[in-house]
Amino acid sequence: FFLLGRSRGHNKANARARQRAPENRRTQATMAPAIANKNFMGKRVAARQARAARVSVSRRNARLVCKAGAYDEELIATANTIASAGRGILAMDESNGTCGIRLDSIGVENTEDNRRAYRQLLVTTPGLGEYISGAIMFEETLFQSSSEGKPFVDCLKEQGIVPGIKVDKGLVPMANSNGESWCQGLDGLAERCAEYYKQGARFAKWRSVVNITAGPTDKALNDCAYGLARYAAIAQDNGLVPIVEPEILLDGEHDIDTTLEVASRTWAQTFKYLADQDVLFEGILLKPSMVTPGADSGTKCSPETVAEYTLKMLNRRVPPAVPGIMFLSGGQSELESTLNLNAMNQTPNPWHVSFSYARALQNTVLKTWQGDEANVDAAQAALIGRAKANSLAQLGKYTGDGESASAGEGMYEKGYTY
């Protein structure tokens, strides 16, 4: 009976299961499209999300594309011409007032004709283009001509020297500071650059300064770097290769490590703002100070030490895209500035390392000339001598042999202005 009852119960359970099976199949058949539809909808959502992501990336990339400037190719070509082997820049861009101080030192009156005569001596020096690739002029000089009526711009071009122009309007005291300065001249700069380009200039210079004895304060560093970046962007927009020059003044008793620290901060800020302004690095030149102790520190470093510190700073801060580093002399003697440059070219550098000297090329020239027409040939020979010495230093082949005692005379001026 127990087995029979169990068998009957088992048969009833099987019968119920058979009755439910069609219902289960119907339910599964009904659910299958819903599940399939859910998967399909998921794929559509995923596809929409993928398309949206691609569109977002595409739009973001479109915003990042920078339109090439009208002068980009020309700027790069000009910068590389100036940064050519064995050549550097003759800086003859002293303002009329500063030029007057130079002329007064040799007993010559500061008149336009005397300024023109001296600058004619410089730009017409035979063979100058072998050692000089660019010449920075003051606005007056850019529009002057020789006594024979040939524009100075043409005198330079005939020797393969690129004409350049000083475009800043000079330093003025910074309010609420400890004797710091800021450089003026951004107002109307685009119009001036366009005019200079039309006259034949192909590069420009803007000098700002950093004074270690005055801090330097963050606001002074920021103003220096920002002003240089805005100028560089405007100059490039008008076809002029900008020389970027935040000069670290020699003034002070600080040691060489302090100079390194301040120079590093200054160039970090400068390149940050240059990048912010979308300046084309391949179309600029730099005019830094060499890293040396303060002029009143009582310490003189060897050329090897100056080279080590200076190149350390530059390698940490300057992208290799920049074509050339054209050092200012900053009041060093003719001999000292040449020896230091030579030391920096004993090993390969990622940029052309050369010179953009004013006093370190002209000091002996001016003393030789003395305002006398009869001394022009001798003065031009002195200019060729200094230009050749620095050309050899750019190539790392300068020895200092045969230098005169006057070449070692210091030219430092506290608070120097152009």
User: pLDDT digits over 153-184, tens only?
Assistant: 999 999 999 999 999 999 999 999 888 999 99
What is the spatial distance between Cα 138 and Cα 163, in angstroms, rounded to a whole number? Answer: 11
What is the spatial distance between Cα 308 and Cα 316, in angstroms, rounded to a whole number? Answer: 12
Residues ≥6 apart with Cβ < 8 Å to 212 = 248, 249, 251, 252, 254, 258, 259, 262, 294
Report phi then psi at 228, rounded to 5.
-65, -40
pLDDT (0 to 100) of residue 3: 38
* CA 139-145-146 angle, 5° bins: 130
Average pLDDT over residues 392-415: 73
pLDDT digits (tens, 9 = 90+) for 300-332: 999 999 999 999 999 999 999 999 999 999 888
pLDDT bucket at 81, cuts 50 / 70 / 90: very high
Q: Give the mean pLDDT of the chain.
A: 88
pLDDT (0 to 100) of residue 219: 94
Instruction: State yes or no: pLDDT of 413 exceeds 70.
Output: no
pLDDT (0 to 100) of residue 55: 57
Answer whether 214's CB lies under 8 Å from 179's CB: yes
pLDDT digits (tens, 9 = 90+) for 200-254: 999 999 999 999 998 899 999 999 999 999 999 999 999 999 999 999 998 999 9
Answer whether 396's CB lies under 8 Å from 342's CB: yes
Question: Catalytic residue at 43?
Answer: no
What is the spatial distance between Cα 106 and Cα 369, in angstroms, rounded to a whole number? Answer: 9
pLDDT (0 to 100) of residue 215: 83
Beta bridge partners of 368: none
Could you give the percent of the chain with pLDDT greater than 70? 80
Selection from 10, 2, 83, 92 nearest residue 386 by Cα: 92
pLDDT (0 to 100) of residue 29: 47
Residues ≥6 apart with Cβ < 8 Å to 386 = 334, 338, 360, 361, 364, 365, 407
Exposed / middle / buried, residue 52 (Cβ in 10 Å: 0-12, 13-18, 19+): exposed
Least confident of 111-115, 296-300, 365-369: 296-300
- Given 245, 247, 334, 336, which residue is catalytic? 245
Instruction: State yes or no: pLDDT of 415 exceeds 80.
Output: no
pLDDT digits (tens, 9 = 90+) for 95-145: 999 999 999 999 999 999 999 999 999 999 999 999 999 999 999 999 999
What is the spatial distance between Cα 304 and Cα 133, in angstroms, rounded to a whole number? Answer: 26
Residues ≥6 apart with Cβ < 8 Å to 40 = none
Task: State how beta strands 285-286 and 352-357 pair.
Answer: unpaired
What is the spatial distance between Cα 196 and Cα 133, in angstroms, rounded to a whole number? Answer: 18
Instruction: State yes or no: pLDDT of 5 exceeds 90.
Output: no
Instruction: State yes or no: pLDDT of 16 exceeds 70.
Output: no
Q: How many helices (H) and strands (E) does the chain have?
A: 13, 10
pLDDT bucket at 86, cuts 50 / 70 / 90: very high
pLDDT (0 to 100) of residue 46: 62
Answer whether 196's CB lies under 8 Å from 240's CB: yes
Answer whether 318's CB lies under 8 Å from 266's CB: no
- Given 166, 180, 247, 287, which residue is catalytic? 287
Tokens of 9: 């119960």
Question: Catalytic residue at 157?
Answer: no
Which is more confident, 352 or 406?
352
What is the spatial distance between Cα 161 and Cα 92, in angstroms, rounded to a whole number? Answer: 13
Q: Where are the extended beta strands (E) located within 160-202?
A: 162-166, 171-173, 181-183
What is the spatial distance between Cα 279 and Cα 281, in angstroms, rounded to a whole number? Answer: 6
Instruction: State yes or no: pLDDT of 1 exceeds 60.
Output: no
